[in-house]
């Protein structure tokens, strides 16, 4: 009875989360523009219902009643995760949660208008409100380490104490690697991939590749949105992409990226995915799966060897006359640029480290919001050797802070590190990944990932999962080794 | 405070209903097939939440607290409707509601499999369960008139006492009219419209016509589904259609039909549409708007005169060589057939009356479920002069009974009657509707409907609304006059 009550209660919470994802997907993909206000109210009603459900005394009772009766390891893991979330949520006054939702919603709208104009004067007072409420929330936990309380929302059990030395080392090494691997002329380097490919052909290529990597179309679909994303879980997982007429890589790599997220969701444990420890492990582990398919597979030489001529054919020969090697080099162009989401594998993590270091200081109170714009530019120049010409290309480029997300960025880099570490582990146990690609065995690779990562959900915390999957603790060295091995060959 | 609480409470209930509509739309239009089980659970969770909200003691308190403070006529109308629904729902044991949902869900699946095989033996035991629970529910109100309790869910305030004489007269007249107006040869009569029109061209025609009748694409969209439907309200109203390669009328008239539903929803009162008396008046009034655009406008001679050549052009000249008069005659072919949803304006209401008369007897207990199949065929022959060759084309053709919907069918006929009566009233006040069509004044017509019908929502019960909009009580005579006037000219 107590067992049944536990699973039925958390199953219902899960069901509402699924509904929120469908609503979000719909809003970004098909909703008519007039619908946004009504949609915001639907979100608000459902969010309120979920928050009440999660923090109600009843939820506490349900958890503690089942705790004494847990029989299986999964039972215990679900209880652990349910408690963790319940006890954390109870620490945060509801009024702060509502305040964050409110200021974030307003600040996001302000950001959308202000960003293209680099209008920091309008934006900063709103950002200040977001930061104020985040600072308050961050102090609801361990007051000595406020940033950890935020980080834990996205990467449970990971702390600044773990990240600091790792990111410090990564930063120092990357600064050197960038100077070594960056191309002389960006335009020149990208020339082989600046070809016109029709939307219809890009769509065909996307569907072909999703099938290749093992995305199950009976349990998912692909659509178009301004910003690509993945939504849903298990039997209804939807990815989106976007089409740029003269730049196939935009859709090609976003499809592989979102495909990686989607395959993770489609391969969670069937019996447990609806319950607290059955969902995906963390944002970092999620990102490791997307980066695995986007970069480690998609930007590998083996991938170009296997698929370039097929891609050319599906593009109605848009790449006729381009040598395979030039294509491969072009999609691996290293060059410091201002925009994180357009960054290559070598420069990408420096973008994250910049944000991580700033965020920690902002939350601690060592950096005032008014000082962010210039400080960002200063730090950017220090890391990349170039200075953003506008605030649009500087601190205003990402939506995250406006949306109340601090502690989120580090998970992107963790994803890259995890992915390289998983690559190394698989290769130690089997053969080089390029063999999987070249021999048309991406299905086998998916099975390995399912066994090592997907099926565990958050049964283990992310660092334990990585330890278990790779035989080693989380480390930045595999990622650095991966970069060196790959890009030395490209010099 | 009590006022605010009332509006916020019912606004939240409305928001959840909107979410249910989006989920249903998504399921019918885009959901991958693997998602159905998860979707059923999301529906179940949200339905439970809504049912709890609607029948909770808190809802009663909120209504009664506001009742004493109502200031405006809208306040009072919202309270009236909130009370009506609350008090009715409270009469029905929750267990019966759940039972209906459960047996209806199972019976629908059984029906889907059994129908194409006319497998009544498998179907009947399930239908019996549905009927049993409906009979129980129907006796939760006035036990003398159990059918009225069901009917009232779909057409509030309308009773069998109102419908019986109306439908009796309609039936007797229609039986005569059908014999008079039916064509000699169905195939021959449909020939001018059996042309191949590509899906793309049909889509263009649909969008063109939706724009013509005043559908607002900023607050809506059009998609494809197996069965056309309309979903949503006010700022997010979505219609669907389906495309039959060699039969444009399938999409043409379903677009106009759903367009009528959609225009109604887009033109409810902006300040009130979220609250109990602000939503659409009844299914009958809803159907009057769809039938108005589908039949009274779309199948009028004026419409053919105005749009036939444009439709031909948008069809890449698929109708080249067809005379306007032949097109007009073909889309108004009268001929008794077995399937309700394919029926013409003259035969359609007899299909409804057959169901209405059967339903009343079934709910009363005068007809056993086992006797339905043969009784249907008998009655069908009596009304139409032909006998269904299979049960698929007989009592198993519609999903309604399997889905637990009895008392619903009469609203289709009410829609036809209301529409003809509204037509007559508008023509008395202004000019023949054909003038609106031919002069490109469909926008003005929409405004008239908005003023007479849409903006009132369910401020008035449907019969009062019709009295107010047309100056007369509901009557079948205008519909019969409309048929006679139109089809005499087609002899």
- Using pLDDT thresholds of 50, 70 and 90, give the confidence band for residue A425: very high
Confidence of residue A248 (pLDDT cuts 50, 70, 90): very high
Q: Which residue out of B10, B14, B20, B22 would a mutagenesis test of the A interface target, given it has the greatest number of A Cβ atoms within 10 Å?
A: B22
Residue A64: pLDDT band (50, 70, 90) is very high
Tell me B274's DSSP state: T
Interface of B with A (CB under 8 A): 11-12, 15-16, 18-19, 22-23, 26, 30-35, 37-39, 41-42, 44-46, 48-49, 216-221, 223, 232, 234-236, 238
pLDDT confidence tier of residue A1, bands split at 50, 70 and 90: confident
Task: Identify the pLDDT of residue A98.
Answer: 85
Q: Which of A212, A258, A265, A476 is catalytic?
A: A258
Q: Do A42 and B12 touch (CB under 8 A)?
A: no
Set of chain B residues whose Cβ sits within 8 Å of the Cβ of A232: 35
Q: Which of B16, B37, B235 sits opposite A34 (nearest CB)?
A: B235
Chain A nearest CA to B246, separation (Å): 26
Strand order in the sheet with A236-241: A220-224, A236-241, A230-233
Question: Distance from B355 to chain A by nearest Cα, in Å?
Answer: 37
The answer to whether the beta carbons of residues A251 and A196 sit under 8 Å apart is no
Enumerate the residues of chain A whose CB falls inside 8 A of the CB of residue B19. Answer: 19, 23, 42, 45-46
Q: Which of B19, B221, B238 sits opposite A46 (nearest CB)?
A: B19
Biggest CA pair distance of chain B = 69
Interface contact B18-A216, CB threshold 8 A: no
Nearest CA in chain B to A20: B19
Across the interface, whether the CB atoms of A219 and B22 are under 8 A apart is answered no
DSSP string for residues in B59-125: HHHHHHHHHTT--SHHHHHHHHHHHHHHHHHHHS-HHHHHHHHHHHHHHHHHHHHHGGGT-HHHHHH
Question: B96 is written with which tokens?
Answer: 């019966």
Report the pLDDT value the prediction gives residue A142, as an integer from 0 to 100.
Answer: 86
The token pair at B322 is: 């067809």
CB within 8 Å of B300: residues ≥ 6 apart: B433, B434, B437
Judged by CB atoms closer than 8 Å, whether chains meet at A16 and B46 is answered as: yes
Contacts of A296 (CB under 8 A, 6+ apart): A419, A420, A423, A433, A482
- On whether the CB atoms of residues A59 and A9 are closer than 8 A, the answer is yes
Given B23, B49, B223, which is nearest A22 (Cβ)? Answer: B23
Q: Minimal Cα–Cα distance from A101 to chain B, Å?
A: 18
Residue intervals in chain A for CATH 1.10.1370.30: 143-491
Contacts of B202 (CB under 8 A, 6+ apart): B243, B248, B251, B252, B315
Q: What gap in Å lies between CA B414 and CA B162, rounded to an integer?
A: 11
Sign of CA dihedral A42, A45, A47, A53: negative
The answer to whether B269 and A71 are in contact (CB under 8 A) is: no
Structure tokens given for B152 = 């009232």
Facing residue for B18 by CB, picked from A12, A16, A42 = A42
Q: Chain A partners of B26 at a C-beta cutoff of 8 Å?
A: 22, 26
Say yes or no for a CB contact (<8 Å) between A236 and B32. Answer: yes
Do A41 and B15 make contact, defined as CB atoms within 8 angstroms?
yes
Contact A38 B18 (CB under 8 A): yes
d(CA B321, CA B22): 43
Kindly report the nearest CA distance between residue B489 and chain A, in angstroms.
Answer: 43
DSSP annotation of A56: S
The reported pLDDT for the residue numbered B1 is 81
The residue assigned the tokens 């979220």 is B274
* Chain A residue set in contact with B, beta carbons under 8 Å: 11-12, 15-16, 18-19, 22-23, 26, 30-35, 37-39, 41-42, 44-46, 48-49, 216-221, 223, 232, 234-236, 238
Nearest CA in chain B to A33: B218
Residues of B marked as catalytic: 258
Classify strands B220-224 and B236-241 as parallel, antiparallel or unpaired.
parallel
Please name the fold of domain A143-491: 1.10.1370
Instruction: Say if residue A136's pLDDT is above 90.
Output: yes
For B46, which of A19, A31, A234 is closest by C-beta distance?
A19
Residues in a beta bridge with A241: A224
> Hey, are the CB atoms on B236 and A23 less than 8 Å from each other?
no
Q: What is the ipTM of this complex?
A: 0.93
- Are residues B22 and A18, on separate chains, in Cβ contact within 8 Å? no
DSSP A273: T
Distance from C-alpha of B227 to C-alpha of A270, rounded to nearest angstrom: 32
**Residue B41, min C-alpha distance to chain A (Å):** 7
Burial B292-320 (b: 16+ CB within 10 A, else e): bbbbbbbbbbbbbebbbeebbebbeebbe
Q: How far apart are CA A320 and CA A308, in angstroms?
A: 11
Query: Quick one: tokens of B100?
Result: 């209906």
- What ranges in B115-159 are assigned the alpha helix state H? 120-138, 146-154
How many residue pairs from chains A and B have C-beta atoms closer than 8 A? Answer: 101
CATH architecture of residue range(s) B141-491: Orthogonal Bundle (1.10)
pTM of the full structure: 0.94
* A225-240: average pLDDT: 96
Beta-strand pair A230-233/B230-233: unpaired
Q: What is the distance between the alpha carbons of residues B402 and B130, in angstroms, rounded to a whole number?
A: 7
Using a CB-CB cut-off of 8 Å, the residues of chain B touching A236 are 31-32, 34-35, 38-39
CB contact under 8 A, B38 and A18: yes
pLDDT in tens, A350-367: 999 999 999 999 999 999
Average pLDDT taken over every residue of chain A: 96
The residue among B10, B38, B270 with the most chain A CBs within 10 A of its CB, best to mutate, is B38
Residues from chain B that touch A49, judged by Cβ atoms under 8 A, are: 49
Q: Which residue of chain B is at minimal alpha-carbon distance from A41?
A: B15
In this structure, what token pair is assigned to residue A352?
């994250």
pLDDT one-digit tens code per residue, A372-404 = 999 999 999 999 999 999 999 999 999 999 999
How many C-beta atoms lie closer than 10 Å to residue B40's C-beta? 13
- Helix, strand, or coil here: A395? coil
Under 8 Å between Cβ of A208 and A314: yes
Q: Do A32 and B234 touch (CB under 8 A)?
A: no
Identify the pLDDT of residue B94: 85
What's the burial of B71, exposed, middle or buried (CB within 10 Å: 0-12/13-18/19+)?
exposed
pLDDT-derived band at A102, boundaries 50, 70, 90: confident
Contact A139, A384 (CB under 8 A): no
- Rounded to whole angstroms, the Cα distance separating A123 from A112 reads 10
The proportion of chain A whose per-residue pLDDT surpasses 90, expressed as a percent, equals 95
Instruction: Tell me the longest C-alpha to C-alpha distance in chain A.
Output: 69
pLDDT of residue A323: 97
**Is residue A95's pLDDT more than 90?**
no
Alpha carbons within 13 angstroms on the beta-carbon side of residue B72 total: 8
Residues of B in contact with A16 (CB under 8 A): 42, 45-46
| Cα–Cα distance for residue pair A230/A237, rounded to 1 Å | 7
Question: Which residue of chain A is at minimal alpha-carbon distance from B10?
Answer: A45
Quick check: B220 and A30 CB within 8 A? no
**Subunit contact B235:A30, Cβ cutoff 8 A:** no
Higher pLDDT: A452 or A52? It is A452
Q: Which regions of chain B are under pLDDT 70?
A: none
CA of A45: which chain B residue's CA is closest? B12
Alpha-carbon dihedral angle through residues B95, B101, B105, B108, given to the nearest 10 degrees: 120
Name the minimum distance, in Å, from the CA of A146 to any CA of chain B.
35
User: How far is residue B372's CA from residue B365's CA, in Å, rounded to a whole number?
Assistant: 12
> pLDDT value at position B87?
95
Contact assignment for B32 to A234 by CB distance below 8 Å: no
Q: Which of A38, A46, A218 sits opposite B34 (nearest CB)?
A: A218
Contacts of B286 (CB under 8 A, 6+ apart): B261, B264, B280, B411, B415
Minimal CA separation from A375 to chain B, in Å: 42
Tell me: the pLDDT tens digits for A267-293? 999 999 999 999 999 999 999 999 999
């Amino acid at each position: 009875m107590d067992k049944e009550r536990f699973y039925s209660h958390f199953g219902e919470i899960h069901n509402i989360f699924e509904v929120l994802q469908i609503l979000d997907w719909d809003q970004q993909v098909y909703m008519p523009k007039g619908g946004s206000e009504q949609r915001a109210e639907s979100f608000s009603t459902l969010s309120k219902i979920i928050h009440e459900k999660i923090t109600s005394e009843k939820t506490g009772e349900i958890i503690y009643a089942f705790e004494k009766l847990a029989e299986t390891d999964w039972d215990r893991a679900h209880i652990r995760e349910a408690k963790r979330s319940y006890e954390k949520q109870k620490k945060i006054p509801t009024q702060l949660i509502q305040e964050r939702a409110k200021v974030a919603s307003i600040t996001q709208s302000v950001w959308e208008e202000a960003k293209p104009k680099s209008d920091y004067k309008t934006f900063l007072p709103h950002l200040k409100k977001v930061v104020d409420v985040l600072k308050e929330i961050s102090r609801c936990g361990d007051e000595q380490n406020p940033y950890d309380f935020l980080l834990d929302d996205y990467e449970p059990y990971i702390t600044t104490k773990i990240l600091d030395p790792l990111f410090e080392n990564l930063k120092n090494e990357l600064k050197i690697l960038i100077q070594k691997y960056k191309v002389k002329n960006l335009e020149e380097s990208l020339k082989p991939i600046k070809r016109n490919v029709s939307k219809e052909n890009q769509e065909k290529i996307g569907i072909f590749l999703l099938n290749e990597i093992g995305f199950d179309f009976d349990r998912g679909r692909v659509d178009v949105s301004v910003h690509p994303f993945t939504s849903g879980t298990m039997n209804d997982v939807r990815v989106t992409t976007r089409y740029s007429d003269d730049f196939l890589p935009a859709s090609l790599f976003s499809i592989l990226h979102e495909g990686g997220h989607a395959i993770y969701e489609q391969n969670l444990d069937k019996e447990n995915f609806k319950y607290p420890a059955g969902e995906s492990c963390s944002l970092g582990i999620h990102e490791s799966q997307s980066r695995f398919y986007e970069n480690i597979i998609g930007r590998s030489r083996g991938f170009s060897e296997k698929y370039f001529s097929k891609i050319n054919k599906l593009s109605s020969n848009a790449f006729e006359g381009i040598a395979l090697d030039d294509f491969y080099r072009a999609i691996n162009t290293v060059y410091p640029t201002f925009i994180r989401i357009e960054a290559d594998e070598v420069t990408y993590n420096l973008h994250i480290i910049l944000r991580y270091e700033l965020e920690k200081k902002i939350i601690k109170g060592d950096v005032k919001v008014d000082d962010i714009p210039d400080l960002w530019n200063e730090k950017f120049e220090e890391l990349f050797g170039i200075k953003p010409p506008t605030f649009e290309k500087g601190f205003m480029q990402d939506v995250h802070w406006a949306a109340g997300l601090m502690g989120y960025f580090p998970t992107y880099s963790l994803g890259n590190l995890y992915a390289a570490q998983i690559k190394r582990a698989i290769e130690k146990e089997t053969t080089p990944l390029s063999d999987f690609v070249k021999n048309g065995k991406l299905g086998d690779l998916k099975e390995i990932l399912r066994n090592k990562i997907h099926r565990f959900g958050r049964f283990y915390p992310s660092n334990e999962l990585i330890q278990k999957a790779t035989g080693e603790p989380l480390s930045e060295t595999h990622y650095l080794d991966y970069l060196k091995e790959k890009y030395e060959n490209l010099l």
